[in-house]
Structure formats: C-alpha cells, structure tokens
Amino acid sequence: MTYDLPVFVSGSAGFIGFHLTKRLLERGSPVIGYDDINCYYDQNLKKARISQLNSISKENDTFFELIEAKLENYSSLDKVFKGKNLKEENIPTPKLVVNLAAQAGVRYSIENPNAYIQSNLVGFGNILEMCRQHEIKHLVYASSSSVYGGNTKLPFSEKDSVDHPVSLYAASKKSNELMAHSYSHLYGLPATGLRFFTVYGPWGRPDMALFLFTKAILENRPINIFNNGEMIRDFTYIDDIVESLIRVIDKPAKKDDNFNTLDPNPSTSWCPHKVFNIGNSRPTALMDYISAIEECLEITAKKNFLPMQPGDVKATAADTSLLE
C-alpha cells in the first residue's frame, strides 16, 4: 500500500484518532479527518488535538482537513467521498477508510442508549455505504474488547463466540463486525475489525480511569473502585495501538480459502474480512494500577469500594497471536 493514498479517518479529534492521524501525517499520507466534536467530554481537549494536527500537517507539508459533522449525516459523508466539500480541490477522494468515530463508554450506554444507536449503528451503516459506492481499497474499523461480554475463559481469542454482550455499547460493536462482514461478502469490500483493549496514554479521554483517578487524588477526593477492586484489565499503550493500526491499514484483509463452513472460525471468513485483538497480553490487577498512580503522585488515594456496575466485566485479557 502506498503512503500517498488519501486516508479518511473518522473520529480524528478523538484519543486514538488523533494519534493515528498524527502518525499518518508524519509518514506523508494525506488525511481527511471527520469528527462531530461532540460534548461527551471536554470539547477544548478535542480542539487542542486538532490544533496539533494542523501544525503537524504544516511541518510535514502533508494535507490534512477536518470536516466537522456527524456520521449519521449521510449527505455530509457523501460530499466528502465525492470530494465536494474539501477546501483543496486537487486532493483526491479517500481510498482508505479508518472508522474510529463512535459513541464511546460502557457505562454511558446505560444512561443514553440512543446515542449508541445513532452513531455506532446508523453512522457505521453510512460508512459502509460510502465504502461500497466509492470502491474503497480497505476499511479498518474499531471494535472493542467489550464484545467478549459474559465470556470468562481467558485470554479472549478471536476464535471465541461473542454472542453474549452485557452492554449496549458491546452489542453495537458486535453489530459493526456483522455489518462489515455482510458488506465484505456481498460487495468484496476488504474490511478489518480491531478489538481494542483498554487504551491509555497522553491526550487520553478524561472519562477513563487513569484521568478520573488522577484528578480525584490530586483534588483530595475519594476514587470509586468497583467490584471492591477485584478487577483485571489488559491495559494497552496508545503507541502500540497506533503501530498495529498502521500495519493493518497497509495489509488489506484477504479471504480465507481454507474456511470451513461446517466448523466456522469467527476470526476469519471466505470473504475478505478479518477481526483482530489489539492488547498488551499482560493483564494488570486494578489495585496494582491504582498503586502505580499513587506512587507517581506520591499521594495515597482515598478509596470508595463499590459493587460491580451494570454492563461491566470483571476481567479482560487479549490473545494477540493472530495479530502477531
């Protein structure tokens, strides 16, 4: 895959989207960003990321433009893929698509399910239509470790069944995998789904544990620790996520000629569709994670131990052998 192919990145003002777009611009790939800059968390953080990307674009003399709109807005997406609302007319239409935009958060899906229906289902359906109509060479899309739902066999493998989600967020991500597979089968669209495991790092989302805990500790407030601290997470650093994304983008999914329909393997298919875990493969106990934050801050946290929250899972761990 050549670096000069224009890449459409939805969610480019988001945590992972920002870091991926930065990496693409630095390697010389023109990027068409797309983000609605919604108020799920501080919009100033998203705008600061975009400001960084504009600077990196100028430094590397690589095209970057952000379209501020929702995935659910079909007409806006259609204009982007036809090249009608780009400021620079000589930029070709997208050839690669990375869909990272979504309504994020497991717990928020319990409070506001409609946001997930619109962004993660209707919006992703629009992305698939754009890929079908404009002969996209490869669609890479964000799934989540949440799809493993009620599974307790660790580590989680792409070969496992994921038919028992415990949150609407997880169900929406599993739906994305099914939708992408159907388009891959019907239209030959190369598509790769990536199940991210608890991503952390600089410029991260303030609604995630690292920032929630740190802010509360610094403000001398107690931190909420669910399931009485008996939680395990496969924390994955953002640079590892981006490195995996870059490598996957450059290797479009291919059909599995040995696919056995009598004993189907959920990780692969007879059509060009693949699913990969992206994790650290070294799960960490939540209390060890909190201890590391305390050590860095040189402050002992006030702890509020609570029962498990609805939609949450006790442990995650990634089998990354397929990705490797």
* Residues involved in catalysis: 169
Q: What angle do CA 229, 230, 232 make, to 5 degrees?
A: 105
Contact (Cβ atoms closer than 8 angstroms) between residue 71 and residue 10: yes
**Contact predicate 261/177, CB 8 Å:** no
* Residue whose entry in the numeric block shows the structure tokens 């040995």: 258
Give the C-alpha distances (Å, rounded to integers) separating 171 from 78, 106, 121, 147, 302: 27, 10, 10, 7, 34
CA dihedral 183, 187, 189, 195 (to 10 degrees): 10
Spatial distance between the Cα atoms of 319 and 324, rounded to a whole number of angstroms = 10
Examine residue 155 and say whether the peptide bond preceding it is cis (omega within 30 degrees of 0).
yes
